[in-house]
A and B are shown apart, each in its own frame.
Chain A
Amino acid sequence: MPSLQKVLMVEDDLDIQVIGRLALETVGGLMVETCSSGQDCLKVAPQFRPDLILLDVMMPGMDGPSTLKALKDDPGLAKIPIVFMTAKVQIHEVETYKSMGAVAVIAKPFDPMTLANQVQSLWDQNHD
């Protein structure tokens, strides 16, 4: 099984970006890149080549679902697992996001001390 090393976090809320990076880098030992919009994600992902993308659902401009579609439409990026992160997620919304191609949904607010383990578990499940 390939190991999870690089995570791209796409999140317009800078507070969440900062604490998410701290959680994933410091607690999880992962290499993390962050960006604030779907448009930036499409520029950063081909260069950073993340193993997994954490994608916020609600962002100004290009939102999470539109970004996911653009990533899936790009043959060079289509295979990168995408995990949505969203506040107050409802069960039917989780199914909708998965039907779009997301491998999982992480609910916000998240615990900075357990986020890295949560992401690692999702990675492991996706590579069984």
Chain B
Amino acid sequence: MTNAMLSKELFRLQDAYLKSLPDKLAKIKESWQNVLRICEMMQSDSDTITENLQCSYPWNRDELINLHRLVHNLSGSGLTFGFEALSKTAQVLDLFYKGLFRRAILLPLNNAIKSRF
């Protein structure tokens, strides 16, 4: 394959990626709404998302994993296809969801430890 053909193929892949973005973003939005819905279903008195996640964990676990994976993939693929701003924004969300997920696991564990002493 010549360089011209390679460039053409890369451009074609970039175009296909661009067209798939609305669907990817819709899936992230839907997943986040699912996480919040599960939090609300737990009828927690907590005021913060973290505390709600704590209350809804492990019911929220699969949805949190799915949400984090969707954002993580976007962070990894955006710049590869030439969309730097998309990658950078997704990286911020990636770290945000990673932190939420860790707290959702650690907080119940922390509470369990405290309850023993």
Contact = CB atoms under 8 A, between A and B. Distances in A.
B87 A109 contact: yes
Contacts of A110: 80
Contacts of B87: 109
Contact of A109 (B6, B10, B76): B76
A27 interface: yes
Interface string B27-68: 000000000000000000000000000000000000001101
Interface residues of B, number: 24
Contact of B81 (A12, A15, A59, A88): A15
A110 B82 CA distance: 10
User: Contact size class for A?
Assistant: 20 to 34
Contacts of A58: 68-69, 72-73
A111 B79 CA distance: 8
A111 to B, nearest CB: 7
B73 A12 contact: yes
B13 to A, nearest CB: 6
Contacts of B75: 87-88, 108-109
Contacts of A26: 1, 6, 9
B80 A88 contact: no
A110 B80 CA distance: 6
B110 interface: no
A109 B17 CA distance: 14
Nearest to A57: B72
B115 interface: no
14 contacts: A12-B73, A13-B73, A13-B77, A15-B81, A16-B80, A19-B81, A26-B9, A58-B68, A60-B69, A88-B72, A109-B75, A109-B78, A109-B87, A111-B80
Given A12-B73, A22-B13, 16 more contacts: A12-B69, A13-B77, A15-B80, A16-B73, A22-B9, A22-B10, A58-B68, A85-B76, A86-B76, A88-B75, A88-B94, A109-B75, A109-B76, A109-B80, A109-B87, A110-B80
